[in-house]
A and B are shown apart, each in its own frame.
Chain A
């Protein structure tokens, strides 16, 4: 297992270990302070008690001078405690390890209570007491180094088990982290052992609840990718299929032109070749548009002025209508705002108006009307063409359906695109007979949010 702090296991391990060590250190420090305090009090208490005993005891026996007593070593801590008894200013009794001068350090006024003094550059804790009657001054002291030694011994016995336990704890933590992260590792193994193109949902046994959202999201992603790949595959297949005929035509026309001696026929063949290329290009554009739409791109929700879009498209297509000596009437002056993608709206309008122009005869009429109602905006396109039979109306929007006998070289994708764009914008498309012109009438309704 990796111990790098950047890995999940490393993070868990170092975090928990750091916490444990931190808590342990804090506890040790607190314990040290606490024990030292209590120890000081305890030993101070003993000093005071020893001084009191001396005062009481010596009250009756202070005739000899400078009696140095060799206090027996009764306890392992004993050698470091020293005492002095002064009677009327004279040193009457002292322990063997006590100095001759009063243990007051630099402070001569030290007569009662506790002081920490330095005697010959050694730190002592001294308790001074006076007798109530008679002039008895007692000093009991102990070297601080002995206190420190006691403190250290107490702490050591308290804390060394924990020191032993710390590495063991670290190992235990490492093991438990390793085990705890096992489901993640299993997921990683499952994913890495998959073939890249396999999109079957992932199943992890005993997945912990925290991982379930992640696994669900992953499987959802697989499904979406699968759909995307399927739609791309379909697009490629459709494109290949639909392009076969135009490409075949182009090639054959070119071949005909190659072999044609007659100049007029040759030019005709070459013109047909060029037209074939244009058709193929248009087809490719439409297929791309359709594939992008089918990939599920949601319409960008920009507010757009439909009137401006319609007018622009109509003016682009007007030359075509004029060439066929058709009359094209556009009534889209009112502002009409909807939310959507301006480019897609233009494609929709272009497909519908272009259709109307194509299928209407020469000298026919095409009417484009944009009207704002309270609850919707309606685009109506009427043409004076032959219209469509009910059977054909039902088949509109099928992928490559084309109306027969029209003599038009359309690709049949236009309707699919129109329907798809409308669906993406939550608009509805209706096709029927035109009451005003007798041909086809297409209405597109954009509902207005209240």
Chain B
């Protein structure tokens, strides 16, 4: 999952970024709304964590703008403003969740997962696809009941594929989902390598190659 954090406090932003990365998320952090807005059009984020007390334009202003532009990305507001009126205003302005500081990273991650799950049309916590079971919270993958060990990147790749079961995702898109702008540039065939590993560890049918277009989730296999 690729996340966009908008938080002006250096210490908190740093903590959020590092903490979420520890949990396996791909994170970009910006300290004001304008830069975050620019990034939104550059990368395929799965969710946004938005602080309200931003320098320049307030977070609520950005939220309103994004929703007016029909940006349907899940947005979780994380703020110190705790009054009921503020909560109502935030939710009515288009936030999918409204959290008051301080919170733990684990809770934040769980709420992000719930948000993303709902936006993907899923209702169950454990994602099933035929014989494949994926628990995004515990990061456990089971194939026909047996546990499969995957690396961080492989997990992220599988999750991305599972999130859009009907779509064909291009290599470039997959790359953007898996890598943020903080680390080093990935190898040009990194995606193929990860796909290969997935097929080897789970099942060759788990990923379907569409020549010239990209990859998609394979057809469901009966969970015998």
Contact = CB atoms under 8 A, between A and B. Distances in A.
B15 A244 contact: no
B56 A260 contact: no
Main SS class of interface, B: loop
Interface stretch (A6-14, A86-94, A246-254, A438-446): A246-254
B105 A404 contact: no
Interface in A328-361: none
B10 interface: yes
B80 A269 contact: no
A212 interface: no
B80 A245 contact: yes
Contacts of B80: 241-242, 244-245
A402 interface: yes
Interface stretch (A110-118, A126-134, A271-279, A362-370): A271-279
Interface string B52-77: 01011000000000000000000000
A259 B11 contact: no
Interface residues of A, number: 29
A260 B101 contact: no
A447 to B, nearest CB: 35
Given A245-B101, A404-B56, A255 B19 contact: yes
Interface string A213-246: 0000000000000000000000000000110111
A253 B20 CA distance: 11
A409 interface: yes
Interface string B73-111: 000000011100000000000000000111111000000
Interface string A263-274: 001000100100
A90 to B, nearest CB: 128
B105 A272 contact: no
B11 A265 contact: no
Please classify how large the interface on chain B is, using the bins under 10, 10 to 19, 20 to 34, 35 or more: 20 to 34
B81 A241 contact: yes
Given A245-B101, A272-B11, A405 B19 contact: no
Contacts of B103: 248
A276 B101 CA distance: 15
Given A253-B14, A259-B22, A405 B32 contact: yes
Contacts of A188: none
B55 A403 contact: yes
A351 to B, nearest CB: 20
A308 interface: no
Contacts of B11: 246, 249-250, 253, 272, 275-276, 279, 409
B213 interface: no
B16 interface: yes
A196 interface: no
A371 interface: no
A356 to B, nearest CB: 20
A293 interface: no
A256 interface: yes
A296 B27 CA distance: 47
A72 interface: no
B166 interface: no
B55 A404 contact: yes
Nearest to B103: A248
Contact of A252 (B8, B10, B105): B105
Interface of A: 241-242, 244-253, 255-256, 259-260, 265, 269, 272, 275-276, 279, 400, 402-405, 407, 409
23 contacts: A241-B81, A242-B80, A244-B82, A244-B102, A245-B9, A245-B80, A249-B11, A249-B14, A250-B11, A252-B15, A252-B102, A252-B105, A253-B14, A255-B104, A256-B105, A259-B19, A269-B18, A279-B11, A400-B53, A404-B32, A405-B32, A407-B10, A409-B10
The 7 closest A-B pairs by CB, nearest first: A404-B55, A252-B15, A248-B102, A249-B12, A249-B11, A244-B80, A248-B101
Given A249-B11, A400-B53, 10 more contacts: A248-B102, A248-B103, A252-B19, A252-B104, A255-B105, A256-B19, A269-B18, A276-B11, A402-B55, A409-B9
